[in-house]
């Protein structure tokens, strides 16, 4: 009885097998290293003689050299990452794709194998084509990313321009810089605070020390500290990040030292409030309302709290000077502050203030690059519109 059933089953299985013919092997399999690669990727491509029958999947495997041809016996279930003896399944692709990129160990070469398989509903292999193998192949780690040449050029160009103008500045003094009213206002307002006997509040913005705006702000802080030291006015510095506070302390001390008033320097006036945006805003509002500074200077990166600070400052009738490259906050500073440095003006400020030829040279370099960029854009537009070729896409792949 049972034997009969078994026979029947075998017979059925046989008919099923004969019904679905084994798929044809891959007509070709190739493995190539990728350009501009970290040395951890290989690009596997293959071709078929005919379009794959529906339900056909391509299995790609990888192994160290010396491995025997993998055995894709019926009944196996394969998913990417599985081990098959010495072989590792790289991928099982259904959609009839013709390539994949494999991530591998660096500085090691691999064999690759590929085959077409038919699978049952549960993913188990029912039929497999003969296996095509190739290799060994190893990835190539590039030492220069060709597609990024343009950016290197940009950086080098700016660098060289700085160098060039620094030399120019050394030879001929006083390069012209257009006026920045916001910056001119700083010293007057410090003077005003002195007359009113009220402190100056300086906020270094809401970004870490690594943020360029924060750095620009700290550069200006040096100058402000020097002035307040000369005028003998209290300077309170509110910091959002402790690391910024550490640096701000150094800078303020130096400012006082430059003014020869190191004795007047009080480290407890350089505060770390907290690094939670609105707790910080609340804290600074507290300072504005209770210490009543006559000058509030907001230089650096600011976010939502900008208006919160500026409006509170406006209430206390303080002179407010703001500067940020944070586009979204500029309108609020513009509406609620007396003076606002827009975007790049913030970076220009330190140069403008110190009149240090090196810094001025820096500005000049930036300006020169702007011209270059504008020319590039105009030419690019002209060429592209004329349909000659797409300069932008050529230069920045």
Partner 1 sequence: MKEHWSDRLQRFDRRWIFLVMGLAVVVPLFFPLGLPAKPDRMTKAAFNAVDALPEGARVFVSIDLDPASTPEIEPFFRAVILQLKRKNAKLVFATTWYQAPPLVDRYMRETIEVAIAPAGTAGYSGLNDRPYRKNVDYVNLGFRDGKGAIIQAFGSSLRLAFDNHADDGTALERIPMMRGLEKLADFDLIVLVSAGSPGAKEYVQFVGTRERLPMIAACTAVSTTDLAPYFQTGQLIGLVGGMAGSAGYETLVGKPGAGTAGADVLNIGNIVVILAIVFGNVVYFAGRYHRRQRGAS
Partner 2 sequence: MKKTLPLLFGMVFGAYAVIEFYIPHHLVGSLSDELRSWAAILAAAAFIIGGINILQVTWPKIRRREPDWQYKVVLLAAAAVMLLAGLPWHKLGDTPATPTVLIEAVPGPAHLVVNAPADVTIQVGAVIAPPRPDGARYQADVGPGTVEVKLSRRVPGYRTQLAPITITDGQRVTVTGDPPMLWGREGRVFVWIYDHIFSPSNATMFALLAFFVASAAFRAFRARNLEAALLLGAAILMMLGRAPLGRAISDVFPDLAQWILDVPSNGGRRAIMMGAAIGAIATALRIILGIERSHLGSDA
Partner 3 sequence: MTELPFVDVVGFWVATFLTFCCLSFLYKDNPFYKLAEHLFIGVSVGYLIILQWGDNLQPKLVDALFVRGYRALAEGGSLDRWWVMRGIALVLVVMLFVNALSRRYKWVGRYPVAFVVAFYAGLQINAVAQSELGEQIKFSASTIDAPKVDLNSAPLDQLTSLPGGSPSIAEKLIVERARAPFTSVDDAVTRPSLTAPERADLAETRGHLVGLDARAAVGPGEHDRFGIVSNLLLLLGLLSSLVYFYFSVAHQGVIGKVSRFGVWTLMIGFGASFGLTVQGRISLAIGRAYDVSGRTVGPTDAARIHSLPVAVVCLLLVVGGIVVWELRNRRRSGKDSA
Site for partner 3 in 306-345 (CB under 8 A): 327-328, 330-332, 334-335, 342-345
Query: 116 to 155, contacts with partner 3 by CB under 8 A?
Result: 148, 150-151, 154-155
- Which CB, 170 or 370, lies closer to partner 3? 370
Residue with tokens 């990452």: 81
Among partner 2, partner 1, partner 3, none, what does residue 395 contact (CB within 5–8 Å per kind)? partner 3
Distances (CA, A) of 41 to 105, 107, 273, 338, 356: 8, 11, 47, 56, 50
Q: Round to whole Å and give the CA distance between 16 and 374.
A: 70
Measure CA of the first residue to CA of the last residue in the chain; give whole Å.
73
- Least distance (Å) between residue 79 CB and partner 1: 8
The stretches of 259-356 forming alpha helices (DSSP H) are: 277-290, 305-315, 330-336, 344-354
Distances (CA, A) of 109 to 65, 67, 136: 7, 12, 6
Query: 178 to 217, contacts with partner 1 by CB under 8 A?
Result: 207-208, 210-211
Yes or no: say if 234 and 269 are a contact pair by the CB < 8 Å rule: yes
- Least distance (Å) between residue 250 CB and partner 3: 8
CA atoms within 13 A on the CB side of 85: 12
103 in contact with partner 1 (CB under 8 A): yes
Among partner 2, partner 3, partner 1, none, what does residue 124 contact (CB within 5–8 Å per kind)? none
Helix (H, G, I), strand (E, B) or coil at 24: coil
Q: Considering only residues 97, 101, 151, 379, which one is a binding residue for partner 2 as defined by CB under 8 A? A: 151
202 in contact with partner 2 (CB under 8 A): no
Query: 197 to 256, contacts with partner 3 by CB under 8 A?
Result: 208-212, 215, 243, 246-247, 250
- Least distance (Å) between residue 327 CB and partner 1: 6
Helix (H, G, I), strand (E, B) or coil at 166: helix
Q: Round to whole Å and give the CA distance between 383 and 380.
A: 5
Helix (H, G, I), strand (E, B) or coil at 362: helix
22 in contact with partner 1 (CB under 8 A): no
| Cis peptide bond upstream of 24, omega within 30 | no
Residue with tokens 């519109």: 385
Q: Considering only residues 301, 320, 350, 362, which one is a binding residue for partner 1 as defined by CB under 8 A? A: 301
Query: 312 to 351, contacts with partner 2 by CB under 8 A?
Result: 325, 327, 331-332, 335-336, 342-344, 346-348
- Least distance (Å) between residue 312 CB and partner 1: 12
Yes or no: say if 113 and 69 are a contact pair by the CB < 8 Å rule: yes
Query: 308 to 327, contacts with partner 1 by CB under 8 A?
Result: 327
Among partner 3, partner 2, partner 1, none, what does residue 103 contact (CB within 5–8 Å per kind)? partner 1
Yes or no: say if 40 and 106 are a contact pair by the CB < 8 Å rule: yes
Q: Could you tell me the two tokens for 236?
A: 């309170």
276 in contact with partner 2 (CB under 8 A): yes
- Least distance (Å) between residue 6 CB and partner 2: 29
Query: 56 to 95, contacts with partner 2 by CB under 8 A?
Result: none
- Least distance (Å) between residue 23 CB and partner 2: 37
* Contacts of 162 by beta carbon, 8 Å cutoff, 6+ apart: 361, 362, 365
- Contact positions vs partner 3 (CB under 8 A): 148, 150-151, 154-155, 175-178, 208-212, 215, 243, 246-247, 250, 273-276, 278-279, 282-283, 285-286, 289-290, 327-328, 330-332, 334-335, 342-345, 348, 363-364, 366-367, 370-371, 373-374, 376-381, 384-385, 387, 390-393, 395-396
């Amino acid at each position: 009885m049972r034997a009969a059933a078994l026979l029947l089953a075998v017979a059925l299985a046989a008919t099923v097998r004969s019904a679905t013919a084994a798929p044809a092997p891959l007509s070709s399999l190739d493995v190539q290293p990728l350009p501009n690669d970290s040395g951890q990727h290989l690009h596997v491509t293959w071709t078929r003689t005919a379009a794959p029958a529906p339900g056909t999947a391509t299995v790609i495997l990888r192994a160290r050299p010396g491995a025997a041809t993998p055995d894709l016996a019926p009944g196996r279930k394969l998913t990417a990452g599985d081990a098959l003896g010495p072989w590792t399944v790289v991928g099982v692709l259904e959609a009839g794709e013709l390539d994949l990129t494999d991530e591998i160990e660096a500085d090691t070469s691999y064999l690759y194998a590929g085959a077409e398989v038919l699978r049952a509903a549960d993913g188990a292999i029912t039929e497999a084509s003969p296996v095509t193998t190739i290799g060994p192949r190893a990835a190539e780690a590039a030492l220069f990313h060709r597609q990024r040449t343009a950016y290197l050029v940009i950086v080098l160009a700016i660098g060289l321009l700085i160098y060039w103008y620094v030399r120019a500045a050394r030879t001929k003094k006083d390069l012209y810089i257009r006026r920045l009213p916001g910056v001119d206002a700083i010293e007057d307002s410090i003077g005003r605070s002195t007359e009113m006997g009220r402190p100056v509040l300086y906020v270094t913005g809401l970004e870490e020390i690594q943020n360029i705006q924060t750095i620009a702000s700290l550069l200006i802080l040096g100058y402000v500290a020097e002035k307040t030291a000369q005028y003998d006015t209290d300077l309170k510095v509110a910091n959002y990040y402790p690391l910024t506070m550490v640096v701000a302390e150094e800078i303020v001390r130096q400012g006082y030292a430059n003014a020869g008033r190191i004795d007047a320097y009080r480290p407890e006036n350089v505060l770390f409030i907290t690094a939670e945006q609105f707790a910080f805003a609340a804290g600074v509002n507290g300072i504005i309302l209770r210490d009543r500074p006559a000058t509030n200077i907001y230089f650096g990166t600011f976010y939502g709290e900008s208006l919160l600070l500026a409006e509170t400052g406006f209430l206390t009738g303080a002179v407010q000077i703001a500067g940020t490259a944070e586009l979204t906050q500029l309108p609020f500073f513009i509406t609620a502050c007396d003076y606002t440095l827009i975007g790049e003006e913030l970076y220009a400020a330190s140069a403008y203030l110190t009149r240090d030829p090196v810094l001025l040279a820096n500005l000049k370099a930036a300006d020169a690059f702007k011209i270059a960029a504008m020319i590039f854009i105009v030419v690019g537009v002209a060429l592209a519109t004329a349909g000659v070729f797409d300069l932008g896409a050529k230069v920045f792949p």
